[in-house]
Amino acid sequence: MNPSRPLRRAVVPALLTATALLALTACGSSEADGGGQGAKGAVDIRIPDPGNSGVLALGKKDGSLDKALAKVGATVRWTGSAGPFAPAAQAMNADQLDIATGSITSGITSLAQRPGFKFFTAVAPDAAGEGILVKNGSGIASVKDLVGKKVAVNQGGTGEYLLLKALAKAGVPADKVERVYLRPDQTAAVFNTGKVDAWAVWATYAVAEIGGGKAHFVADGAAIGSDNYSLNAVRTGFAEQHPEIVKALYRYLHDASAKEKQDPAAYLNVFTDVGPTAVTGKAKEVQTAFTREGGTVDPIGAEDIKRFEDVAGFYAEQKVTTDKVDVAAHLLDIEKLK
């Protein structure tokens, strides 16, 4: 993968997220055994429900995903809701889920926990849609102004990585800024009431704040030098049993993400344009702009792996993990699956 190719947001509707507002729930099932037979003998592939936006949401609505997977004898069982990667990783480890998406940062912390999954696609880091968010008029004009401030982050994931990376680049010791560990779906209220001074965050949550005219990035992914890829993971046992299905899903995601990049609006508000899952007004413009600047779902290449290893090394250096995680041991070359 060429590092100069178009970049894409860290958590991306074109993959599997449903705006990531809900944690993964209801993953288990008495019928969920990974290699189970679905309707008419088809193999079930368990994927978190995509919600209202993104490639899989449109694929669910128009039947194109079912059609693509039917060619390799598979059928989707929508299971729970897309959300943070950590619980999805646990569900894959427990043989309750076959596919999930997450960032390399949250992936590394999950890989440190006896993983039962491997990553098989990469979407390049986000230049525009992730960063350090501050309220307009806060007086915070640079990363150095965060000294003595409180910054909300999700522990061990994208937020903590973005903050630590930004501080390191600015030459600010990490202990000069207070990290406030919060779940992303609980942070907006804390941020907007001033209980934290900034929020290290990605597009899923930043779009509403920026679109509402209340906040802006004091440093975005490009300024930070983020290596925070978005990845798709597959349960190891499923990939071993059904490589042809994993390849078919990859091809679908790759082709559809290219179409989404060309026409972002078609992949927003797929099922409804009202309510909490709808993206409207200025936020829709912001999301559309991020998507147009984005990349596509691609195979994991040698240059990507080098950047994954850099993140793993940084996490160990910053003591987010006790040791450097061997990311390369948990990757699949989608082009070599048979």
Q: 């630590």: which residue's tokens?
A: 164
The pLDDT of 64-82, averaged and rounded, is: 94
Dihedrals phi, psi of 314, to nearest 5 degrees: -65, -40
Dihedrals phi, psi of 298, to nearest 5 degrees: -130, 165
The pLDDT of 239-248, averaged and rounded, is: 98
- Dist CA 17 CA 221 (whole Å): 20
User: What does the block give as tokens for 140?
Assistant: 């915070």
The predicted structure's pLDDT at residue 74? 98
Confidence of residue 22 (pLDDT cuts 50, 70, 90): very low
- Dist CA 180 CA 111 (whole Å): 23
> Could you tell me the pTM of the whole model?
0.85
Confidence of residue 113 (pLDDT cuts 50, 70, 90): confident
User: What does the block give as tokens for 45?
Assistant: 């592939």
Taking only the tens place, the pLDDT of each residue in 193-206 is 999 999 999 999 99
Task: Tell me the pairing of strands 74-81 and 131-135.
Answer: unpaired
pLDDT score of 157 more than 70: yes
> What value does the mean pLDDT of the chain take?
89
Rg, the chain, Cα only: 19
Closest CA to 233 of 88, 335, 134: 88
The predicted structure's pLDDT at residue 81? 76
Dihedrals phi, psi of 31, to nearest 5 degrees: -95, -10
- Dist CA 267 CA 236 (whole Å): 30
- Dist CA 229 CA 5 (whole Å): 13
User: What does the block give as tokens for 30?
Assistant: 């008495």
Residues with Cβ within 8 Å of 190's Cβ and at least 6 positions away in sequence, in order, are 152, 180, 182, 196
